[in-house]
Amino acid sequence: MLLFLSISFLAQSQSRMKISLTDPLPSWNESASKKAIIEFVSKTTKEGSPEFIPVADRIATFDNDGTLWSEQPMYFQLAFAMDQIKAMAPNYPEWKTTQPFKAVLENDVKTLVASGVDGLLEVLAVTHTGMTTEAFEKTVKEWMATATHPVSKKHYNEMIYQPMLELLKFLRDNGYKTFIVSGGGIDFMRPWIEEAYGIPPYQVVGSSGKMKYEVVNGKPVIKKIAELTFNNDDDGKPIGIHQFIGKRPVFAAGNSDGDYQMLEWTTSATGYPRFGMFVHHTDAEREYAYDRTSHIGKLDKGLNDAAKNNWTIVDMKNDWATIYPAGK
C-alpha cells in the first residue's frame, strides 16, 4: 500500500514539475496573447476554482483558412479547384473560350473573382460534384501530396501554423475537445485534417452540398450533387456549431469577419469564462499582411469590436516566433 502511494506521489510530483518547467507554447513569443491563453486554460482547468469548466463543456472551435493555415493569395480550396479544372481541360476544349473556365486556364484570378459567386459555384460544381465521396477523397489526397503553393513552393498542408498546432495540443492536453468550424467544404478538409491537426473527421464542421445514396452493381456509394445546402460562414458558423456540436463553445479562434458571429456566439454566453481570439495577419515578410480591405480574410468589424468584447488579437509578426513547422 505504502509502495503504491509513494509511486503515485512520485508520479504526481513529476507531472506537476513537467507542467511548470515546460513551455506549452514554445513558438509563441512572450506576449499579452500568450499570457491570456495560458491564464485562461489554467483558471478553467483548476479544480475548485470558481472559473473551473467541467471537461464535458471544454469545447474549443477553430476556423481553418487563415487561422490554422494560410489562405493567400487565394483560399487553398480554390487553388485545388483551379488545378482540377486544368487537369480536366483536355476533355473540355470549349473551356478555352468559355468563362469562368477560360480565366482558370489562364491563371487569371482577377477575372475569375469578377465572375462572382455564380462563376465560383460553376467551378466548384465541376470540380467538387458529380463523383462519389470516395473518388473525391482520393483526388484531394493526391492533390495534397503533389501540388505546391505558388509563392512558398511548399505543399499546402505544410503551410499550417506551428503556434496554432501548439495551441490545439495545449488545449487537448488540458481536456479540451478541439473542433474545426470552417467555411471550407467538409469533404475537402477531412482527408488531410486528422493528420495535420490531430482532429478527427467527426470534429470537423464545414460547408456541404447535397448528396445522394445509390447502390451501383450491389455496391453502395454516396454521390456529390451540385447544390450547396449549407454555407458554414458568418451567421452559418453559430448554426453549424449548434447543429453539429450541440454545445456552445467556451473558446473560439478565427481570423476574419466571417468568424465574427462564431466569436460573438461563444463569448456572449454566460456561466463559464469564455475566450475569443483573432489571428491578425501582420507579417508581410514571413506570411502575409492584410486585414480591413482584403478580399480574402477581411478583418474589419472584428478589429473594431475586439476591445469591447474582450477578444484577444494575436499579432502574427510580433507574437509568433515561427510560422510554419520546422523542416517543411
Binding site for a second copy (CB under 8 A): 7, 56, 59, 133, 177, 179, 186, 190, 194, 200-204, 208, 211-213, 215, 218-220, 222, 229, 235-236, 238-239, 242-247, 261, 264-265, 268
Number of neighbours of residue 315 by Cβ within 10 angstroms: 16
Assess contact for 214 and 132: CB atoms under 8 A: no
Assess contact for 76 and 193: CB atoms under 8 A: no
Q: Which of 203, 159, 186, 192 is nearest to 61 (CA)?
A: 203
Q: Identify which of residues 76 and 179 has a Cβ nearer to a second copy in the complex.
A: 179
Cβ at position 28, least distance to a second copy in Å:
28
Cβ at position 69, least distance to a second copy in Å:
19
Cβ at position 32, least distance to a second copy in Å:
26
Assess contact for 294 and 133: CB atoms under 8 A: no
Grid cell listed for 10 = 512520485
Q: Identify which of residues 243 and 310 has a Cβ nearer to a second copy in the complex.
A: 243
Report the interhelical angle of 162-173 vs 32-44 (nearest 10°).
20
Cβ at position 210, least distance to a second copy in Å:
9
Q: Identify which of residues 35 and 212 has a Cβ nearer to a second copy in the complex.
A: 212
Q: Identify which of residues 216 and 326 has a Cβ nearer to a second copy in the complex.
A: 216
Side-chain-facing half-sphere of 292: CA atoms under 13 Å: 5
Burial of 300 (0-12, 13-18, 19+ CB in 10 A): middle
Residues 6+ apart with CB under 8 A from 3: none
Q: How far apart (Å, rounded) are the C-alpha atoms in residues 204 and 185? A: 10
Q: Identify which of residues 148 and 268 has a Cβ nearer to a second copy in the complex.
A: 268
Assess contact for 69 and 76: CB atoms under 8 A: yes
| Pairing of the two strands 275-280 and 251-254 | parallel
Cβ at position 18, least distance to a second copy in Å:
18
Q: Is the peptide bond before 100 cis (omega within 30 degrees of 0)?
A: yes
Q: How far apart (Å, rounded) are the C-alpha atoms in residues 156 and 160? A: 8
Grid cell listed for 310 = 474582450
Q: Identify which of residues 165 and 239 has a Cβ nearer to a second copy in the complex.
A: 239
Cβ at position 281, least distance to a second copy in Å:
26
Cβ at position 280, least distance to a second copy in Å:
23
Assess contact for 2 and 286: CB atoms under 8 A: no
Cβ at position 177, least distance to a second copy in Å:
8
Q: Identify which of residues 152 and 208 has a Cβ nearer to a second copy in the complex.
A: 208
Q: Identify which of residues 67 and 261 has a Cβ nearer to a second copy in the complex.
A: 261
